[in-house]
Chains A and B, each alone.
Chain A
């Protein structure tokens, strides 16, 4: 390194500084949350429903927000995964008409760049229309509430969609042309080729894209606060068993943290920290899963079908 020109040495030092600084910041965040969270986290918090009460001791845990997180994520991914894979396949294999392909590509990029609060406001206006009243409750006066797991899940799927699309599309473009040609040369149609050869070979990338999408959904607050009603407990709407929960309101860990934080209305900072810690653990676990899915070449795949490591979302 002594022999390097000055500019190179400066750049090297800057790389070290920035890298170390970033690691320190991340470690600081994780450690801070861990310390606060472990101080306040009790198993009972994970198992009790929140309840309205005068004293903090009686106000229960955050089981409902945990359920809400899981349910919302499930709804969002159930929409985003198949739509995202289908979009990516169409963009990579068909691309006709060309103007539509360009428009779709731009739209996906625009959605990925849109702030989630923007999507939440759009959802608020959209789902208040009477035509979409079946997705949520209607109050006695006739106005559509517009906030439910279904509506929030629909907007959440938009959050996760660009990640699934990008990951799947990159992997499909990596499959060499002669693999597709080998399938056509056996007298198979394009649809069969996609179904039997291409999609199975990019399964790891689909999985990591979906996991990234889940990570993003789990961490989103704006859509939850605006579109889910942010009630403390999951409130069903109507009598049907599963549909009532989906059409009802609720909260997730993110809205619970906001509600109980000093910036919200609640006064339970400890519970906010505990919930935030649980949320952090979930996100870390998901990120580890993504790393494992995208970096190991599975034993039965050679380097020709190597799985791309994708850039994690930066929001």
Chain B
């Protein structure tokens, strides 16, 4: 064999049953190790999450097409977004999942040349009809890179709350005393309050990465949104911060509808109730996460989930 030739890449056999790590119900092939469970985090056991008590449809995406200039990035996607469940958008890079997520709070409008066709409704109202800033207070977003503003922790969370516009009333400047309970509530919901309770005036940029991302989540939760959009929130974080935030997401779904875009299939498995698999802009498959991962209907989904491409 030519010594300069690299060894062949391991081919993944597609004709076998897909073996997904972590599923005890799946019959694994011969010779494989018994099912591996996720490593314990600080001695806690990973329990399978129970389904939410009540599920209520918040947003409906119907036949949405999105284009940047001449290129269609999202083609004819229809999905429901419900409170009480976590919807994960999975797919390879360039599949349009981030664009679809950003269109839900009309953040795509910032880019010149973005075009949207189709209907997206929030509680029955078409989002193009809702005033954009009040829409963005009802549909909040957390980004991939933690991006706290260069202010204190309190100011970061209060930023979203200041200078409210009560309908019909005059713009009122809120004082710190009025804001404090709401800020503390948002920090508690984001699981950050115990760690920062001592000093809320600490500069936000001095927190660790995981804490900064939880601060961004607290900031998004401060306005009590109906839907929370998460764009790969844990991709820049270490596993322990990731685990904390994933627990947070599962806990929040009772009160907020959650849509999460993730590259990490295992994360989707841990966190999601429903999964939508997108490929090159099209919605290939949508269903409960057990079904999509264990018994995918489409061949493309099977290939992606088993790692044939990505």
Contacts and interface: CB of A to CB of B under 8 A. Distances in A.
B150 A187 contact: no
Given A184-B110, A187-B137, A301-B205, A178 B144 contact: yes
A300 interface: yes
B136 interface: yes
A302 B205 contact: yes
Interface stretch (B215-223, B263-271, B301-309): B215-223
B243 to A, nearest CB: 23
A181 B223 contact: no
Contact of A184 (B136, B150, B151): B136
B147 A186 contact: no
Contacts of B205: 300-302, 305
Contact of A186 (B145, B160, B206): B160
A197 B160 CA distance: 12
Given A185-B107, A187-B137, A187-B223, A178 B159 contact: no
A273 to B, nearest CB: 46
A300 B203 contact: yes
Nearest to A181: B107
B141 interface: yes
A301 B207 CA distance: 11
B150 A301 contact: yes
Contacts of A188: 133, 159-160
B211 interface: no
B143 A201 contact: no
A1 B147 CA distance: 45
Interface string B212-233: 0000100110010000000000
B150 A185 contact: no
Contacts of A183: 149, 159
Interface in B26-76: none
B140 interface: yes
Instruction: Give chain A's interface residue range (CB within 8 Å of chain B).
Output: 20 to 34
Instruction: Give chain B's interface residue range (CB within 8 Å of chain A).
Output: 20 to 34
Given A186-B219, A301-B205, A197 B105 contact: no
Interface in B134-191: 134-137, 140-141, 143-145, 147, 149-151, 159-160, 163
A301 B204 CA distance: 9
Contact of A189 (B110, B133, B145, B203): B133
Interface string B261-294: 0000000000000000000000000000000000
B216 A182 contact: yes
A23 interface: no
Interface in A160-210: 176, 178-179, 181-189, 192, 196-197, 200-201
B150 A178 contact: no
Contacts of A305: 150, 205
B151 A200 contact: yes
A152 B215 CA distance: 50
A192 B149 CA distance: 13
Interface in B80-131: 105, 107, 110
B122 to A, nearest CB: 14
Nearest to A300: B203
B149 A179 contact: yes
A176 B145 contact: yes
Contacts of A185: 105, 107, 136, 140-141, 143, 220
A186 B159 contact: yes
Contacts of A192: 163
Nearest to A180: B110
A299 to B, nearest CB: 8
Interface of B: 105, 107, 110, 133-137, 140-141, 143-145, 147, 149-151, 159-160, 163, 203, 205-206, 216, 219-220, 223
13 contacts: A178-B143, A179-B149, A185-B220, A186-B137, A186-B160, A187-B133, A196-B149, A197-B150, A197-B159, A200-B150, A300-B150, A301-B205, A305-B150
